[in-house]
Structure 1
Amino acid sequence: MRAHATGYTPAMRNVRKARLAAAGAVVALAATGCGDPAPLEGQQLATVGTNGSVGQVELRNVYVQRPLDGEYQTGEDARVLLTMTNGGKQPDRLTEVTSEHAKKAMMRWDQRCDGTAEQVEAIPLLAGGTVPAPDGKAVTGHLPYHLELIQFDRKVRAGTTVPVTFAFERAGQTTLDVTVQPVHPSDEPARRACT
């Protein structure tokens, strides 16, 4: 293949174009991270969590909200956000959550979308769907349910993981190493539902 007067071959031009495109993508990603990286109260980050599944149930973007000072101290509590979907033809329920690093775990669900997530004994999953939305309410962002890990038995640092076990009535049980939200994440914050 002959070199052109500029000294570049067509293949070299393609490599240069690819490098320029990659550099543009890096600049675009950096721009989205500009501004205040800390989400406001009641917000969650879009893609920082752990994914998993058991039976027909999918657990997506499961994460512990980040500690404000970089780590949770022994005895402190933490909120876990997640999205659950049921691909099965039968309804299911999350019936129990535990962690070997916490004294207990509680399930909370804002069933009326009124801003109060009450403690519940189980969180239902519709057949072929997710947790039921409140009647007459438009739910956007993170669905109005979450978990609370009560009284860590050790220090838990941002950017590490915590084992959390999820037990479902039909799908069975699984344990995930749930990500503790980093202190300075670059993900775009999104508003939670019902806030």
Structure 2
Amino acid sequence: MICGTDEAGRGPIAGPVVAAAVILDPNNPITGINDSKKLSEKKRLALSEEIKQKALYWAIAQCDAEEIDAINILQASLLSMKRAVEALPVSPSKVLVDGNKLPQLNVPAEAIVGGDALEACIGAASILAKVERDRQMLEWHALYPEYDFAKHKAYPTKAHLAALTEHGPCPIHRKSFGPVARLLATPDK
């Protein structure tokens, strides 16, 4: 009952940080799991469905932009991982966390730098979190097409920063993040 947990969305300047927790079935292995950033979108989508079908348990949780602004992105990342682990219908015997910091959990946990490429359960969580966050960014794109969230998923690309400057921030922008905070500090926006 070893659980892996990871998050997606620390770097973007809009939208939630999304985490997943996954307990894989050792008797039903999944081939191709890796750090979600090393996989194509098509492969991530296929693996996400396979993980949801074959894993013993999985859960997804998040912190929205307002929570990120209130407690900072590191704390929001840890909180979203905690929420994902606690959303599982069972308590894992151990939690493996991608990174060098641990969320506050009531079970033994170990932080593993680069764990999403080293431990299949963390890689699986990485995939579920990334696919869910990308799905949400497509929904936000439909509401705020001027920012082109479908293309850059709210990362601070040149095009996103230009749209931010032209239109000002929308409700899902993280007000505490540099480019948004600087824009909000200017009197004309």
- Tell me, yes or no, whether TM beats 0.5: no
TM-score, with length taken from structure 2: 0.24
TM-score w.r.t. length of structure 1: 0.23
- Greater share of strand residues, 1 or 2? 1
Q: Which has the higher helix share?
A: 2
Larger Rg: 1
